[in-house]
């Protein structure tokens, strides 16, 4: 393992004003997204859609540091025969790959899941590296509900994340470590904060036991945020303050950066929260975005599967990428959204 190289890639992933595009939707998830805009999900339509984003020069070259790809996408070629990985590289962004194989029910823990996919990971990683991937992603899912999460679930997911991260670094690939406490449910922000701290502490303990170098990884957590069915939703400043406090309690300063997931927040909400955190300032790590839906919902709608809509979709994508790039610098303002509209 060359830690200096891993650190260089991790630092580039969280470069000031740039963040990560999560374009790693599984075939099932992208089908749901395409159903909404009335597009049939085929290998070609998925490729055309992603190619549209990767060819969006302004967004990719100025505001996107890396792209998380799905297994299908990393091997695909654009319509003109150029490998999609090459389009990402040409734009100055780093290709990455989602390597987990989804969540399965956790035995003995009703209503809880554990992420699988470690078995052949050591064999798969060198092939992804050869194809151009320089970072990877693995997501552990923790739900808040009646009597859950259990320690068994938190420990199982933290351990899997740490094993994955160690395998990645061994293969000279930077791991994005993504423990996601879901915002489904009616819990308040304080319960989310308490559970997320528990999850993060357990995860970093496991990373330490598995000899993962913190300088060569990126953390992708949820924000401290109330459940989407909660009676009282916390305001932007409260979310920012509590999230920063939670991270300071748990995340070693050696970690180069934290790239948040949007986790079901609206586009503008995710941007406003990130901006408010960066305005707090004086943080040991860079805070940026690794958004999927919060970057893609607008361009998807604008595109709607029609070639004549590509330019409009690219404008929508560039706008969201720019807004989040500003939020990563603490320079976003709500009226910038109105101007564009």
**Would you name the residues annotated as active-site residues?**
178, 220
- Residue matched to tokens 């990428």: 321
- DSSP annotation of 243 reads H
Q: Are strands 19-23 and 103-105 parallel, antiparallel or unpaired?
A: unpaired
CA–CA separation, 198 and 267 (whole Å)? 27
CA–CA separation, 41 and 123 (whole Å)? 29
Q: Are 221 and 192 in contact (CB under 8 A)?
A: no
Q: Are 49 and 315 in contact (CB under 8 A)?
A: no
List the structure tokens of 248.
């300071």
Provide CB contacts within 8 A for 338, sequence distance 6+.
none
Angle between helices 43-54 and 293-303 (to 10 degrees): 110
CA–CA separation, 118 and 204 (whole Å)? 19
């Amino acid at each position: 393992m060359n830690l200096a190289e891993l650190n260089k890639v991790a630092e580039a992933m969280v470069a000031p004003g740039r963040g990560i595009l999560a374009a790693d939707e599984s075939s099932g998830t992208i089908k749901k997204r395409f159903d909404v805009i009335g597009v049939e999900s085929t290998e070609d339509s998925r490729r055309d859609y992603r190619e549209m984003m990767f060819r969006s020069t302004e967004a990719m070259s100025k505001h996107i540091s890396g792209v998380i790809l799905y297994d299908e996408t990393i091997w695909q070629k654009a319509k003109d025969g150029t490998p999609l990985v090459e389009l990402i590289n040409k734009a100055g962004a780093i290709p990455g790959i989602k390597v987990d194989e989804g969540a399965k029910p956790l035995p003995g823990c009703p209503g809880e899941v554990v992420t699988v996919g470690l078995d052949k990971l050591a064999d798969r990683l060198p092939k992804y590296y050869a194809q151009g991937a320089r970072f990877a992603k693995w997501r552990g899912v923790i739900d808040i509900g009646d009597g859950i999460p259990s320690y068994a679930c938190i420990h199982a997911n933290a351990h899997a994340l740490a094993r994955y991260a160690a395998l990645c670094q061994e293969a000279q690939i930077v791991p994005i470590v993504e423990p996601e406490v879901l915002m489904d449910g009616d819990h308040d922000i304080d319960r989310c904060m308490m559970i997320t701290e528990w999850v993060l502490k357990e995860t970093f303990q496991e990373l330490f036991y598995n000899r993962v170098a913190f300088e060569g990884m990126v953390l992708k957590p949820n924000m401290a945020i109330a459940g989407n069915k909660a009676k009282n939703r916390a305001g932007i400043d409260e979310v920012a303050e509590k999230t920063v406090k939670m991270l300071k309690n748990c995340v070693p300063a050696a970690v180069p950066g934290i790239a948040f997931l949007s986790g079901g927040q609206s586009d503008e909400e995710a941007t406003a929260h990130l901006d408010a955190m960066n305005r707090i300032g004086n943080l040991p790590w860079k805070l940026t975005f690794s958004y999927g839906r919060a970057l893609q919902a607008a361009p998807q709608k604008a595109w709607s599967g029609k070639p004549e809509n590509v330019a409009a979709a690219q404008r929508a994508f560039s706008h969201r990428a720019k807004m989040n790039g500003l939020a990563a610098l603490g320079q976003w303002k709500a009226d910038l959204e109105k101007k564009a509209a």
